[in-house]
């Protein structure tokens, strides 16, 4: 029995019964007893009873709506229980004391691995928040040798994939959901973000929900506001973020990829040259033109 919800039914159900009684002229006590019956039999809450006008329905139609609400409410409560359990976990394991010794650090890493499925040799700083919001069933996947430094906020309301050897510095914020600007702003929209192998995100960067891919070995500067996808090996800085260069020249990139990745996972030199020209060479020309003026 969910006694917390039962108390809420008694608290708000009596008020809802009064409003329904005033609208319909029916007995307030009779309506309240029906609200209580719907909760005990179908786990329907009093505000739902009133919204769906269950007091005016009978038979199969009433049962169909009650069963639908029952299923939704069970899922909602399960999500909330997991939400609170997650905060209890973070409240315990994100404390500074777990950085005082190697033994405590190992216990902490093991706990994160067990709860979130982190890979091997991950380092998690203190005051790191890993959260989901708005009853969204997002997921997080973290590879091996990943660093998530202190005071970092990671929203995995959507889908978040962090590959091997990623470094996320202190104070970084990562978002994977948004709200529509039109009509119903309360309806959240989950997104997807994939952070490629070897990416480094420096302190206080903000990764918006509009960014869906950060290509492998990209570098995100401190305080950068990232709103769009980041090509592989790009160096991005600023607010709004701009690509100021690449980690390698096209020729160096080909050599690096040949030495480190399987053939079917390599970036073609044509793609890299296109990115190099689009995001870097063109900006160099713009800067030179501006300086000459």
d(CA 159, CA 175): 10
Rounded CA gap, 157 and 180, in Å? 15
Q: Give the rounded percent of residues in the chain with a pLDDT score beyond 70.
A: 93
For residues 247 and 39, what is the distance between their CA atoms, to the nearest angstrom? 61
Categorize the per-residue pLDDT at 187 as very low, low, confident or very high, splitting at 50, 70 and 90: confident
- Please give the average per-residue pLDDT across 142-164, as a whole number: 96
- Residue 207 pLDDT greater than 80, yes or no: yes
Residue 102 makes CB contacts below 8 A (sequence gap 6+) with none
- Mean pLDDT, range 101-121, rounded to an integer: 90
Can you give the pTM of this predicted structure?
A: 0.83
Q: Tell whether the model's pLDDT for residue 245 goes beyond 50.
A: yes
pLDDT value at position 282? 54
């Amino acid at each position: 029995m969910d006694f917390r919800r039962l108390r809420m039914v008694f608290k708000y159900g009596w008020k809802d019964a009064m409003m329904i009684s005033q609208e319909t002229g029916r007995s307030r006590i009779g309506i309240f007893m029906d609200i209580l019956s719907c909760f005990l039999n179908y786990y329907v809450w009093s505000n739902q009873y009133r919204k769906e006008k269950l007091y005016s329905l009978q038979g199969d139609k009433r049962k169909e709506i009650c069963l639908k609400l029952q299923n939704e409410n069970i899922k909602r409560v399960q999500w909330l229980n997991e939400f609170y359990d997650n905060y209890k976990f973070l409240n315990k394991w994100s404390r500074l004391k777990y950085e005082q010794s190697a033994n405590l650090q190992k216990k902490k890493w093991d706990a994160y691995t067990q709860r979130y499925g982190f890979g091997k040799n991950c380092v998690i700083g203190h005051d790191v928040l890993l959260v989901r919001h708005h009853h969204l069933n997002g997921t997080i996947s973290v590879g091996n040798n990943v660093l998530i430094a202190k005071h970092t906020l990671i929203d995995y309301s959507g889908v978040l994939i962090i590959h091997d050897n990623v470094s996320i510095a202190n104070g970084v914020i990562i978002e994977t959901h948004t709200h529509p600007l039109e009509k119903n702003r309360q309806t959240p929209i989950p997104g997807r973000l994939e952070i490629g192998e070897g990416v480094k995100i420096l302190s206080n960067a903000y990764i918006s929900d509009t960014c869906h891919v950060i290509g492998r070995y990209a570098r995100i500067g401190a305080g950068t506001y990232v709103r769009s996808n980041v090509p592989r090996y790009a160096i991005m800085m600023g607010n709004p973020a701009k690509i100021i260069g690449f980690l390698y020249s096209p020729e160096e990139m080909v050599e690096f990829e040949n030495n480190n990745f399987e053939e079917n996972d390599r970036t073609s030199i044509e793609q890299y040259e296109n990115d190099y020209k689009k995001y870097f060479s063109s900006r160099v020309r713009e800067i030179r033109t501006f300086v000459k003026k």
